[in-house]
Structure 1
């Protein structure tokens, strides 16, 4: 069924409202979620590791010694 004409804004508003209400119902408030977070205690330095970079070279944790480093691991499946 193709939605045309004056129905498009109405259907779009309904979809936005359903998504917004669903996210509120599932997620709760930011304050509630932040209050439930727990800190993970540090037990020592990071264990040595090696990563393959996009150019084919390798990067080790030792290469970053003395520098701040942010490691962001992302996967999509």
Structure 2
């Protein structure tokens, strides 16, 4: 069951990040990939800053969205060059 939550949180986080940064979702597969990678990046960044979201459902979603937004921001910076 935790794998299903992992997929759903990743897809939702990717969609929210795509909406914040681009104005719309990127499609289910891209949202999922972005959300999962965002969870890894967000966890790493929050760890560096000494922040904790207590690992609950909402905390995982916040961490994934923050990481996915950072990934999209960096991708936009690279694409401009």
Please give the TM-score of this superposition, normalised by the length of structure 1.
0.27
Structure with greater Cα Rg: 1
Higher strand share: 1
Higher helix share: 2
Please give the TM-score of this superposition, normalised by the length of structure 2.
0.26
